[in-house]
Amino acid sequence: MISPVPRIVTLETESPPEPTRWERYPPIQGGAAVPLWRKRETGQALEDHATRAGQISAEAAVTAPAEVPAVAPDLTAAAFFDVDNTMMMGASIYHFARGLAARKYFTTSDMAGFAWQQIKFRIGGRENPEEIQSSREQALSFVAGRSVEELVRLSEEIYDEVMADRIWEGTRALAQKHLDSGQRVWLVTATPRELADIIARRLGLTGALGTVAESEDGVYTGRLVGDLLHGKAKAQAVRALAVREGLHLRRCTAYSDSVNDIPMLSAVGTAVAVNPDPPLREAARARGWQIRDFRTGRRAAKIGVNSMLGAGALVGAVAAGLRYHRRPRV
């Protein structure tokens, strides 16, 4: 039996009318100056991590400046694209980690150790909650005390150097079709929102939903606002954005390669499995979803290796960077 999701009501005001029944969302750097409060009915449990992560991501999403559309805008439909192995070959955070390694933030041997953890996960096929929590804390240790400006600058440089030529042209063409029809196109990814925003901007998309790291006065605190935008959290982010943007989810389309994104794919009217992993391919066939595969032969195998390394880099490669800089020099 699935527990019902608590009904969340938000309010923008300097102070809540009933402090015992309202609590403040952590502030988001660059967000609204007026505090955002949330209310739960008496007796309701705290909202689950996925719901909160999705709502926070939607709140933090920034829409790119709109260009004059060539066709009449379709205001109630949109497309949502996963990034890793869907829009981009391999994992974006892995490519980002490679860029950091090239800048001596950490060594390739550090990356190999963390990648092994992800390989074990891929073989075992299960997520250990304690390991996920540890991975999140390690990843956050890299950004703690660093400026948002630094991460954005590095993201822009590394995208141009490492990621730009790893975009799947077939997937990009699918996104362009939605844009050409007047629909908005959003990326939805566990990647930090700063990097996700840059990928979306470079591709000429509407915007991105990503994991939100807390910052104060332009400096990361080492904590998340919400949680990782992964699995069910992506579906919650899409739903929250749909409310904000006035979208009809039955008219929307979602694209992903991973079985973990079935909640997001199920939240919209049209689901498309792109370069699907075996479990998603099986699920797509059973549900009658479209399947698009842009991989071929050895290239597909290579992308699969990078996919395994991707979350391994997220687990600890960026954390290694912090340890590398703190390592005493002799």
Per-residue pLDDT of 118-131, as tens digits, reads: 454 444 434 455 55
160 is catalytic: no
Nearest residue to 106 via CA among 318, 328, 292: 318
Residues 6+ apart with CB under 8 A from 153: none
Residue 27 pLDDT grade (very low, low, confident, very high; cuts 50, 70, 90): very low
Find, among 270, 235, 251, the residue nearest to 77 by Cα.
251
Per-residue pLDDT, averaged over 280-298, amounts to 90
The helix-helix angle for 92-102 and 148-158 (nearest 10°) equals: 100
| pLDDT score, position 316 | 43
pTM of the model: 0.73
Choice between 58 and 324, residue whose per-residue pLDDT is larger = 58
Mean pLDDT score across all residues of the chain = 74
The answer to whether the CB of 312 falls within 8 A of the CB of 117 is yes
Task: Quote the CA–CA distance of 36 and 33 in Å, as a whole number.
Answer: 9
Q: Is 84 a catalytic residue?
A: yes
Q: Which of 48, 74, 84, 217 is flagged as catalytic?
A: 84
Tens of pLDDT, residue by residue over 198-239, are 999 999 999 999 988 888 899 988 888 878 888 899 999 999
Q: Are 116 and 315 in contact (CB under 8 A)?
A: no
Give the mean pLDDT of 58-71: 69
Rounded Cα gap, residues 290 and 103, in angstroms = 41
If we measure between CA atoms, which residue out of 113, 115, 96, 142 comes closest to residue 322? 142
Q: Which of 82, 110, 197, 227 is catalytic?
A: 82
**Concatenated DSSP letters for 21-71?**
TEEEPPP-TTS-SS-EEEE--TTPPPPPHHHHHHHHHHHH--PPPPPPPSS
Least confident of 91-95, 97-101, 294-298: 294-298
| Interval 176-191: pLDDT, tens | 999 999 999 999 998 8
Is the model more confident about 93 or about 157? 157
Number of alpha carbons in the 13 Å side-chain half-sphere of residue 201:
16
